[in-house]
Amino acid sequence: MKREVRVLHLITRYLDGGAEKTTSKQINSLMDSKEKYEIHLGFGVEYDREQVNHIKDQGVSTVCFRLIRHFNIVSNLLAILSVSIYLSNNEIDIVHTHSTEAGYIGRIAGWISGTDVVIHEVHGDPVTDDRNTLFNSFLIELERICARVTDKIITKSKIIRDTYLNRGIGHPEQYELIYHGVDLEKFDNVSPHRSLLDSGVTLLYVGRIEDGKGIFDMLKAYESVYLEANVEVQLLIVGTGDLIDAVRTHVRQHELEGVRVLGYREDIPQIMAASDILVLPSYREGTPRVITEALASDLTVISTDIAGIPEQVDTDSDHILIEPGDIDELCESIIKTINKKARGDLQSNSTELEKFSSTQSENKLIELYNKLITDGLEQ
């Protein structure tokens, strides 16, 4: 009797970000598929215990590689050995890596241990203008090296795929486009969260509260918007992360009475139904799931013109993309959108959302695994 195909999903941090949600969805898809998989989930020293326990309850084997740390080069080099030993001892057939550090650790470990199939998933472009030029060059060279021992590279947008190819990372045949999947029906005709309804305009931020997300750019822009707008404007901040205490301190010290820091929430569809404009002024992203969710909720989106976001947002309608870090443009875009809403001139969303649906993403992933199993494991 043929044994189950053994898969290790390896991710740098297992918290509450978009990459983690995609990884969890993929694991669930594999476990529900016709092919029998034995799923392992590996993660670094930063993880949410509750989320790990939840996925363990579904029959997934979990392992914390304590040497995998966010941008700690020495520790991560040592982690390659521990991951390689795990792959060999557990006879892993497929290693599927997520995020930058886990990406190079898992792929090199897979090469050392002779793992049959190596997949890397790019959730966002790690090379950004707000990072050191030398460090960016190092990351690009590392990706070029690791691509040589990678069977498939999954990207979340055509733009990121083309960017990687232009940098000399891999070759076209290695790439697969699979968008972040969203359960679109959850955001259709949802009743708004009543305690968050406001008589004026509600701005919304949903995501990790950490460096690179433009949180303080948004707060600075809000101060100006609050003074200049002709209506009451509230800002809801949903999420958690390293900077949440700093954000709460900033709100308190600047007496931003219209800002509500809600922390981690499960009721995102209801919160979006109570909101008008999604503001995501990030410096680093991939193809953010939250933008698709906002579009499905018929919110107007103001975000940055980076990574895969232009594939999601149709700027021919009333959605606006700005340059990262341009606080004046962010403020002007918010006021422009508020004024259009007041006149009743906002156009409804025109983006084709079906390609971002969970069903399409899950089907593409299963098709890819089936092909790799046929081509790789049965040779």
* Residue-range domain boundaries for the chain: 5-181+357-377, 184-353
Residue type, 16: D
Tokens of 348: 């409804």
* Mean pLDDT of the residues in the chain: 93
Class of domain 184-353: alpha beta
Looking at the chain, which runs of residues are DSSP E strands?
Answer: 5-11, 37-43, 61-64, 94-98, 117-122, 152-155, 175-177, 201-206, 233-238, 259-263, 277-280, 300-304, 320-322
How far is residue 194 CA from its own chain's centroid? 28
Question: Could you read off the pLDDT of 83-126 as tens digits, one per residue?
Answer: 999 999 999 999 999 999 999 999 999 999 999 999 999 998 88
Long-range contacts formed by 166-173: CB under 8 A, 24+ apart: 167/127, 167/140, 167/143, 168/144, 169/140, 169/143, 169/144, 170/144
CB burial readout 331-352, b (16+ within 10 A) else e: bbbbbebbeebeeeebeebebe
Class of domain 5-181+357-377: alpha beta
Question: Could you read off the pLDDT of 343-372 as tens digits, one per residue?
Answer: 887 776 666 899 999 999 999 999 999 999
Q: Which residue has the tokens 């975000």?
A: 303
User: Which positions ≥6 away from 8 have C-beta within 8 Å?
Assistant: 40, 41, 42, 86, 87, 90, 92, 94, 95, 96, 106
Question: Could you read off the pLDDT of 230-287 as tens digits, one per residue?
Answer: 889 999 999 999 999 999 999 999 999 999 999 999 999 999 999 999 999 999 898 9
Phi and psi angles of residue 112, each rounded to the nearest 5 degrees, phi first: -65, -40
How much is the CA Rg of the chain, to the nearest whole Å? 21
Q: What is d(CA 16, CA 38) in angstroms, rounded to the nearest whole number?
A: 24
Q: What is d(CA 87, CA 81) in angstroms, rounded to the nearest whole number?
A: 10
Q: What is d(CA 127, CA 124) in angstroms, rounded to the nearest whole number?
A: 9
By three-state DSSP, how is residue 161 classified? Answer: helix
Question: Could you read off the pLDDT of 287-331 as tens digits, one per residue?
Answer: 999 999 999 999 999 999 998 999 999 888 899 999 999 999 999
Could you tell me if 40 and 62 are in contact, meaning their C-beta atoms sit under 8 angstroms apart? yes
pLDDT for 72 equals: 80
| Closest listed residue to residue 95, CA positions, set 85, 106, 104, 111 | 106
Tokens of 27: 């694991």
Question: What predicted TM-score, i.e. pTM, was given to this entire model?
Answer: 0.88
**Same fold: 5-181+357-377 with 184-353:** yes
What letter does residue 184 receive in the DSSP assignment?
G
- Count Cβ atoms below 10 Å from residue 291 Cβ, excluding itself: 26
